[in-house]
C-alpha cells in the first residue's frame, strides 16, 4: 500500500512538472534577434532541423524543448514550408502553431496591363521567390504544360497581382493567370453586344489587346473599341500603330516611321484588313469589356489630343483637321 501511494505521488509530481513545463513553454516569450524577424522553412525540412535553425538564430534557447513541445501537443509531423515573420511577444507555442498551420508570409507578383508575354516571362524569371520550372522552355511548351490549347501565348494571361508561397512553381502561377483570363473572357463573351463582327472569344481578346495599347484612359476605351468595330464592319483597315510596333519586335527603336507603316507584315493593320493573327499584349478587364460592348458611335477615326484623351471623327476631313490641331 505504501509503495502504491509512493507511485501515485511520483506520477502526480511528474504530471505537475510536465504541466508546469508546458505552461512555461506555452507562455514564455522568445527572444527575437530582430523585430520583425523573418525566416524560411524549406520544403522537406524536419522538425529537428527547424528547431536547430531557430536556436542558431537565437530565437530558441534549445532545440530539444521545442521538439518535445511539438510531440506532446501532437504537431511533430505538421511542419509547413514557407516564409514566416515573427513580431514581439511571440511564445514557443505560438511559434509552433504558426509553422504547423502554414501561417506564412505570402510573396506576390504583378503582371501589368499592356505587357507582352516576353515582359511577363522576364518578371517571373527575375522573381527570387518563384521556382523557375519553365527555364529554357519555348512558349508553346509552356502552353502545353498549363493545359492551354492555343498556339501563341500572347495575351492569354490576365494582368493582376498574384499571391503565392515562396518556392511555388512559375507553371502554377501561369496556370492561375491563364485560368483567370479564360474565366473573365468567357464571362464577357457571354454578355457581349449583339451583332459584333467577331467570330469567337479569341478574336475579342485580340481586339481587347489593341484597345489596351491604344489608351490607358477609362472613358476612351469603349469609343476606341467602337471605332475598330465600325471599321471591321465596313471592311476598312484598322490602321492602328500598336499592331505595327508589335510586329516590328526588337527592330522597333521607339520611332515609328512611314516606311514601317508601308512595309507589309502580318501585324501591319495599315496594309492588311481585319484583325492581326494574335493579341499584341495583356488586356485588362476594362479593355475586354469595351471590346465586347463598344460604344455605339459613328466615329471611324481618332487621334490623341496630347492630354491622355482622344478626339473622335466620323470622316477623314474632320480627322485630318484634328490631326493638324493636336499632333502638328
In a domain, 225, yes or no: yes
**Dihedral, CA atoms, 7, 8, 13, 15, nearest 10 degrees?**
110
pLDDT band at 20 (very low <50, low <70, confident <90, very high): low
Residue at a domain's end among 186, 219, 252: 186
Q: Taking 70 as the threshold, does the pLDDT of residue 25 lie above it?
A: no
Asked if the structure places residue 13 within a domain, the reply is: no
Q: For residue 94, what pLDDT band results from cuts at 50, 70 and 90?
A: confident
Residues 178, 236 within the same domain = no
Omega prior to 174 cis, within 30 of 0:
no
Q: How confident is the model at residue 201 (pLDDT cuts 50, 70, 90)?
A: very high
| C-alpha grid cell, residue 172 | 502554377
Same domain as 320, residue 196: yes
Q: Are 111 and 162 in contact (CB under 8 A)?
A: yes
Same domain, 167 and 228: no
- Please compute the mean of the pLDDT values over residues 280-309 and round it to a whole number: 93
| Cα–Cα nearest to 66, from 3, 4, 22 | 22
- The answer to whether residues 165 and 107 touch, using CB atoms and an 8 Å cutoff, is yes
SS3 133: coil
User: For residues 297 and 312, is the Cβ–Cβ distance under 8 A?
Assistant: yes
- 53, three cell numbers: 535553425
Cross-strand pairs, 37? 86
Please count the residues of the chain.
Answer: 328
| Tens digit of each residue's pLDDT (9 = 90 or more) over 26-57 | 567 777 777 778 788 887 888 888 888 888 88
Quick one: average pLDDT of 174-202? 97
Domain span holding position 271: 190-326
The count of structural domains within the chain is 3
Pick from 152, 186, 220: which residue ends a domain? 186
Residues 227, 251 contacting (CB under 8 angstroms): no
Amino acid at each position: 500500500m505504501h509503495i502504491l501511494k509512493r507511485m501515485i505521488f511520483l506520477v502526480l509530481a511528474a504530471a505537475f512538472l510536465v504541466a508546469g513545463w508546458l505552461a512555461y513553454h506555452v507562455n514564455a516569450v522568445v527572444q527575437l534577434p530582430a523585430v520583425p524577424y523573418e525566416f524560411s522553412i524549406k520544403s522537406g525540412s524536419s522538425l529537428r532541423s527547424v528547431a536547430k535553425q531557430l536556436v542558431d538564430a537565437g530565437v530558441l534557447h534549445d532545440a530539444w524543448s521545442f521538439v518535445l513541445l511539438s510531440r506532446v501537443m501532437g504537431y511533430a509531423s505538421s511542419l509547413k514550408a514557407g516564409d514566416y515573420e515573427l513580431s514581439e511577444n511571440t511564445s514557443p507555442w505560438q511559434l509552433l502553431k504558426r509553422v504547423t498551420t502554414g501561417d506564412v508570409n505570402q510573396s506576390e507578383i504583378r503582371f501589368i496591363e499592356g505587357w507582352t508575354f516576353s515582359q511577363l516571362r522576364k518578371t517571373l524569371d527575375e522573381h527570387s521567390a518563384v521556382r523557375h520550372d519553365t527555364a529554357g522552355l519555348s512558349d508553346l511548351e509552356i502552353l502545353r504544360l498549363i493545359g492551354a490549347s492555343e498556339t501563341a501565348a500572347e495575351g492569354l494571361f490576365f494582368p493582376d497581382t498574384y499571391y503565392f508561397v515562396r518556392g511555388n512553381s512559375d507553371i502554377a502561377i501561369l496556370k492561375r493567370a491563364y485560368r483567370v483570363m479564360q474565366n473573365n473572357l468567357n464571362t464577357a463573351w457571354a454578355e457581349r453586344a449583339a451583332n459584333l463582327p467577331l467570330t469567337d472569344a479569341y478574336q475579342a481578346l485580340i481586339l481587347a489587346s489593341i484597345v489596351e495599347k491604344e489608351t490607358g484612359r477609362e472613358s476612351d476605351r469603349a469609343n476606341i473599341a467602337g471605332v475598330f468595330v465600325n471599321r471591321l464592319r465596313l471592311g476598312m483597315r484598322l490602321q492602328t500603330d500598336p499592331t505595327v510596333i508589335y510586329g516590328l519586335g526588337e527592330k522597333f527603336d521607339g520611332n515609328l516611321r512611314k516606311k514601317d507603316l508601308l512595309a507589309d507584315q502580318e501585324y501591319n493593320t495599315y496594309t492588311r484588313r481585319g484583325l492581326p493573327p494574335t493579341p499584341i499584349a495583356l488586356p485588362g478587364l476594362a479593355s475586354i469589356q469595351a471590346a465586347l460592348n463598344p460604344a455605339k458611335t459613328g466615329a471611324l477615326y481618332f487621334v490623341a489630343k496630347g492630354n491622355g484623351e482622344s478626339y473622335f471623327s466620323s470622316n477623314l476631313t474632320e480627322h485630318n483637321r484634328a490631326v493638324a490641331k493636336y499632333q502638328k
